[in-house]
Structure 1
Amino acid sequence: MGNYAHVFQGTAFTSKTFEEVGILKDYLFCINEKGMIVKTVSPEEEQYVTLLREYEGKDNFHRLLDGEYILPGFIDLHVHAPQWAQAGTALDLPLYDWLNTYTFPIESKFSDINFAQSVYEDLVQTLLANGTTTALYFASIHKESSLLLAQICARLGQRGLVGKVVMDNPDQCPEYYRDESTEIALKETEEFIIAVQELNEQTKQGVYPVVTPRFIPSCTDEALKGLGVLAAKYNTHIQSHCSESDWQHGYAIERFHKHDAFALNDFGLLQEKAVMAHCNFLADKDAKLFASTGTAVAHCPISNVFFSNGVLPARHLHDLGIEIGLGTDISGGFSPSLFDNVRQAVIAARMLEEGVDTTISADKRGVSSSRITTSEAFYFATAGGGEALSLPVGRIEENYAWDVQIINTTLPSAKLPIFNNDLEDIFQKIMYLARPENIQQVWVQGEKVHER
């Protein structure tokens, strides 16, 4: 029937469409040596029994136990890797104070390669344990430790997209934490891109360099222009922040007399492999520019509570044709779990629709047609993230990578309340109630990278 590296038997949940989750009940999943799904077989198909006979009992046959289910691995579109060292602290401060009192000082410490090693190793292991199989990382301004993060992703089996951050604007960046000069920032970015692309050639699951201006305020025009040129030259991914808060949105208008999105586009930084974080203040004309260039939004619903001054209108932006995925925004978001961010995405959208100020009449309090469902938030965390990155990840179907998390709902210490529920209900219970300890195994590109 075929020479497969692995065959799994079990029930999986995966997005069929934005609105609908497909349930693959008792399917066989056939994985090749490259870690790709080459065949999914339902119990009704003739070859099902033949495949079972051929693989059952072999070391590479994996039958899920009762109460175990397969989900696609999560795709985290926005992680500030150095900030893992400060996760869960200082969230009561205003953004400016948070950055200057906590964040920039901690990021500056990543000139120390040993400190970077201990933080990055712990972060990648933690994200894998939380079911995150692909992560898009901001590192720091330091070329060596940024490259180290890519090497750790490669070694631990996570698909990592890593950016050496560029911050060269002396007006907005502290002296102790900024690039020495624009010229050096661009030179080191190019060296970083070449080094990571070489590393990728030996990495099964893939590691990718990302052109990473922190955001418009932290970069000079020369740096932004040079980064756009490098992204085009080496065909890399691009990431930054866009219209996150009142302040950032206003800053771009003051400096360029146009919205953040249009300024970024002028420098060649909006394109099919570009992901912009937050984007809470996108106007419809900005959104249409995103859609026409293929630029995606990293929606960080927990972080938005603390630093974005508003709720992202995710439903509206999706309806305008923008690709949207989810991000934790460690450490503006305190949780390394995309399960937590799926839940918050649903809650935030519901609050946007219903409104929050009870002194305003119900018909004027909220923004109508804003809610998203659990299934739609799950799409953002999986298939939407894959589309944002233009990679074959985030779905359990043929020609996609075998990036999965196996969820155990019967764990004595974290048992889910399942009592004769149908599979649609079980899916929802997993999305709302699963904890990290329910994640029994994590696989990336056909390789097991985490097990409890």
Structure 2
Amino acid sequence: MKAYARVFQGTAFTARSPEEIDILKDHLFCVNDDGVIAETIAPDSPEYEAVRSEYAVLDRYRQLAPGQYLLPGFVDLHVHAPQWAQSGTALDVPLYDWLHTHTFPLESKFADLNFAAEVYEDLVASLLANGTTTALYFATIHKESSLLLAEICAKKGQRGLVGKVVMDDPAQNPAYYRDADAAAALTDTEAFIVAVKELAKRAKQGVYPVVTPRFIPSCTDEALKGLGALAAKHDTHVQSHCSESDWAHGYVQDRLGKRDAVALSDFGLLGDKSVMAHCNFLDENDAALFARTGTAIGHCPISNAYFANSVIPIARWMDKGVEIGLGSDVSGGYSPSLYDNARQAVISSRMLEDGVNPALPADARGMQASRITIDEAFYLATAGGGEALSLPIGRLAAGYAWDAQIVDIALSGARLPVFSEDEPLHEIFQKIMYLVRPENIREVWVQGEQVHKRA
């Protein structure tokens, strides 16, 4: 008999594609020592009873209780880690004012490692409790506290992709919060990359350095070109913002005479390890550029409602072959939960399709073929995020990391409205996606290790 580190028995939901959810009823999930799913075994497999009976007597075997289900861990493609300290505040002001009057003063405080540790410890724990097993983080301009965030991810077991933010343009950044110059920003970024890669050798689940120009308005051309070169030299992930709002998109056009996506490409910042947040104002050529280079969109539906001045046509860009995942955009998005963001992704897409101006006739009010389903939103939060990061995560399938949530829908005080033993499993899945709260998430596993358990 094959040797497994752990065997789980239960019913799971996992995305095969944006349109197809695999419902794995009462399967065995066999996890190896590396925390990777070695195989999944269906009840009708000849191996099923032999494996189940051998492992059921061992402490490495786990059978889910009635009312419990398995989902892949969520992949959050856009988190501003320092902004956790201001989540839920100042969402009623324009983006430019929000940055300069609230966000930059807060982020400047992360030169203080004690303050950074307090915020980052709480953020990583909160994301894990909400089922987020992998997060793509913007930190701050401070090399030391950015490295501290990576260390906290490694310690708590979350797969963290962390970027030391670059903001070196004195014309757009306050004197109290910016890199000294492009040379200093690039030197610090390279030192950060080397340090995180060394840290990753001791983190089973992996931590990753990310080249992170905040966005073109905050960076000089010298810094942007240098960051593209560093990403190529060290083969790192890249993240930034792209065409988020009328102001940001227009600024790039005025300064560089080209669209945001084209400018990022010209600086060497687009590729199959690149994730660009928001992207609300892409056009057909921009989307084709993303698809051709393998660049992914980090779709942030809650924060877009506050700051992006539009609804991005996610369904259109998915049809064009662009990789897309979900992002919470803490704190432009008030919720750290990708359940909340999946729900908002569906809501926003329906509003885009139907339109919002009642003064217009129905046939002129919206953008046709824009809606997505909760199944598609689930794909974005899981498999889509894994594909965006080019990592084997986001699915409960052989060859993928055992990143999983155990969700309990029969929990006293947080029971979901399932009253029949014969209720179709796909309907139960939909109720999970729309109704689960953090207290329903009983356990979270990353790379085969339990990283969260709710009493």
Q: Secondary structure at the match of 1:413?
A: coil
Task: Name the structure 1 match of 2:439.
Answer: 437
Measured in 2, the distance between the counterparts of 1:209 and 1:72 equals: 23
- Listed one character per residue, the Cα deviations across residues 94-137 of structure 1 (whole Å, up to 9, x for unaligned) are 11111111100000000000000000000000000000000000
- Listed one character per residue, the Cα deviations across residues 175-218 of structure 1 (whole Å, up to 9, x for unaligned) are 00000111110000000000000000111000000000000000
- Listed one character per residue, the Cα deviations across residues 261-285 of structure 1 (whole Å, up to 9, x for unaligned) are 0000001000000000000000100
Task: Name the structure 2 match of 1:39.
Answer: 39
> What does 1:11-410 align with in structure 2 at a 5 Å threshold?
11-410=11-410
- Listed one character per residue, the Cα deviations across residues 313-342 of structure 1 (whole Å, up to 9, x for unaligned) are 000011111000000000000000000000
Question: So what's the TM-score if we normalise by structure 2?
Answer: 0.99
Q: Secondary structure at the match of 2:58?
A: coil
Aligned partner letter, 1:183: A
Considering only aligned residues, what root-mean-square deviation do their CA atoms show, in Å? 0.4
Task: Name the structure 1 match of 2:424.
Answer: 422
- Listed one character per residue, the Cα deviations across residues 5-41 of structure 1 (whole Å, up to 9, x for unaligned) are 0000000000011101000000000000100000100
Q: Secondary structure at the match of 1:16?
A: strand
Question: So what's the TM-score if we normalise by structure 1?
Answer: 1.00
Measured in 2, the distance between the counterparts of 1:59 and 1:433 equals: 32
Q: Secondary structure at the match of 1:153?
A: helix
1:406 CA drift (Å): 0.4
Identity of aligned residues (%): 67
Task: Name the structure 1 match of 2:452.
Answer: 450
1:227 CA drift (Å): 0.2
Q: Secondary structure at the match of 1:193?
A: helix
Measured in 2, the distance between the counterparts of 1:326 and 1:265 equals: 22
Structure 2 alignment gaps of length 5 or more: none
Q: Secondary structure at the match of 2:11?
A: strand
- Listed one character per residue, the Cα deviations across residues 18-77 of structure 1 (whole Å, up to 9, x for unaligned) are 101000000000000100000100000010000011100210000000000000000000
- Listed one character per residue, the Cα deviations across residues 284-328 of structure 1 (whole Å, up to 9, x for unaligned) are 000000000000000000000000000010000111110000000
1:93 CA drift (Å): 1.1
Measured in 1, the distance between the counterparts of 2:74 and 2:321 equals: 22
Measured in 2, the distance between the counterparts of 1:105 and 1:249 equals: 24
Aligned partner letter, 1:194: V
Aligned partner letter, 1:446: G
1:451 CA drift (Å): 0.4
Measured in 2, the distance between the counterparts of 1:378 and 1:159 equals: 19
Aligned partner letter, 2:26: D
1:419 CA drift (Å): 1.5
**How many corresponding residue pairs?**
452
Structure 1 alignment gaps of length 5 or more: none
Measured in 2, the distance between the counterparts of 1:142 and 1:413 equals: 43
Measured in 1, the distance between the counterparts of 2:97 and 2:254 equals: 21
Measured in 2, the distance between the counterparts of 1:215 and 1:40 equals: 42
Q: Secondary structure at the match of 1:400?
A: coil
Measured in 2, the distance between the counterparts of 1:68 and 1:208 equals: 32
1:147 CA drift (Å): 0.0
- Listed one character per residue, the Cα deviations across residues 209-230 of structure 1 (whole Å, up to 9, x for unaligned) are 0000000000000000000000
Aligned partner letter, 2:435: L
Aligned partner letter, 2:196: V
1:233 CA drift (Å): 0.3
- Listed one character per residue, the Cα deviations across residues 134-176 of structure 1 (whole Å, up to 9, x for unaligned) are 0000000000000000000000000000000000000100100
Measured in 2, the distance between the counterparts of 1:96 and 1:242 equals: 15
Aligned partner letter, 1:80: H
- Stretches (4+) displaced over 2 A: none
